[in-house]
Amino acid sequence: MKQTITIFFLVIIYSYSYSQGEIDDQNKIIFRNERTFSAFMASYGWGLNYQYAKRVNAYKRILYDFDIDYIKHPKEKKQTNPFFMSSNMTMFVFGKTNLFFELKGSYGQQRELFRKIDKGGIAIRMFYSGGASLGVLKPIYYQIIYPSGAIDEKFVPNLHYPENIIGRSSFLKGFNEISVVPGAFVKIGGSFEYSTKNNIVKALDLGISATLYPKPIEILALTDNSQLFVSLFVAYRFGKILSSHAVEQTLLGE
């Protein structure tokens, strides 16, 4: 996670230093609505985001966000059975009981703090939002070794061990047992928009989110599971301007 944030910062700094000082001869697009997508990494996993930003004025936009997140337990560790060698063997997380996904919808605001001046410069924006989260739990099945053959079973403490597990069963196994848990979340952060074209959006988002559920979400057996997920995230955002009003400027940036 730290390496990812460092790489993104280096890319932004390089882009900014390389292009700083170049006069922007494009028409400034002040009033604009944006449609963007992002892929992000977070402390608890990764996800995808769709965002529609509706402008209120030159510095403020209303945000409508839709996310799908995959959440991992911080103690997850993949392994294989050290005593069983087969082409059917797959890696598994010992004791994992559920795959956990989040479907999120939120409403928020974005404010522009600093606008680009030079071509290829960086616009700095602050955003905050909140909304509903629907936690989706899909049970995990393991292939368990028995004298009569392998059987698909859910994890049972004191019955299943790394030595009698071949691997995880098919991803489709357990779809008929999916359960959902409603929750709520908030997030806040900053967006650094660095596209060299005024009709294209390219940005790095950094922030923190917190999601709360009414009960602990069981992801991993034999350890504590939480109902509160606080996570740092970094996202690469890209998209385009849907509607805009361009303001003419001279080569001097007036």
**Whole-number Å distance between alpha carbons of 198 and 190:** 20
**Whole-number Å distance between alpha carbons of 98 and 42:** 19
**Mean pLDDT, range 155-160, rounded to an integer:** 88
Partnered with residue 168 across adjacent β-strands are 142
In a domain, 254, yes or no: no
The answer to whether the CB of 36 falls within 8 A of the CB of 25 is no
Lowest-confidence segment of 26-40, 193-207, 215-229, 237-251 by average pLDDT: 237-251
Partnered with residue 153 across adjacent β-strands are 142
**Count of domains observed in the chain:** 1
Render pLDDT for 208-234 as a digit per residue (tens, 0 to 9). 999 999 999 999 998 999 999 999 999
Tell me what percent of the chain is helix, strand and coil, each rounded to the nearest 5: 10, 55, 35
Q: Residue 204 pLDDT > 80, yes or no?
A: yes
Q: How confident is the model at residue 162 (pLDDT cuts 50, 70, 90)?
A: confident
- What pLDDT does 251 receive? 34
In a domain, 187, yes or no: yes
**Whole-number Å distance between alpha carbons of 67 and 136:** 13
**Mean pLDDT, range 33-58, rounded to an integer:** 93
The answer to whether the CB of 227 falls within 8 A of the CB of 215 is yes
**More reliable by pLDDT, 5 or 164:** 164
In a domain, 252, yes or no: no
**Mean pLDDT, range 21-38, rounded to an integer:** 66
- What pLDDT does 152 receive? 92
In a domain, 253, yes or no: no
Q: How confident is the model at residue 86 (pLDDT cuts 50, 70, 90)?
A: low
- For β-strands 92-93 and 123-139, DSSP reports them as unpaired
Q: How confident is the model at residue 244 (pLDDT cuts 50, 70, 90)?
A: low
- What pLDDT does 195 receive? 86
Decide: helix, strand or coil at residue 26. Answer: coil
- What pLDDT does 183 receive? 97
Residue 17, Cα to own-chain centre: how many angstroms? 28
In a domain, 156, yes or no: yes
**Whole-number Å distance between alpha carbons of 134 and 136:** 6
Domain that holds residue 130: 2-247
Q: Residue 45 pLDDT > 80, yes or no?
A: yes
In a domain, 138, yes or no: yes
**More reliable by pLDDT, 81 or 250:** 81
Average model confidence (pLDDT) across the chain: 84
CA atoms within 13 A of residue 225's CA, in its CB half-sphere: 18
- What pLDDT does 100 receive? 97
Burial (0-12, 13-18, 19+ Cβ within 10 Å), 78: exposed
Q: How confident is the model at residue 119 (pLDDT cuts 50, 70, 90)?
A: low
Q: How long a stretch of residues is the chain?
A: 254
Q: How many CB atoms lie within 10 A of CB 179?
A: 10
**Whole-number Å distance between alpha carbons of 67 and 186:** 12
Decide: helix, strand or coil at residue 190. Answer: strand
Dihedral sign for Cα 89, 90, 92, 98, please: negative
- What pLDDT does 48 receive? 97
Q: Read off the tokens for 134.
A: 């629907």
Give the CATH number, domain containing residue 174: 2.40.160.20
Decide: helix, strand or coil at residue 234. Answer: strand
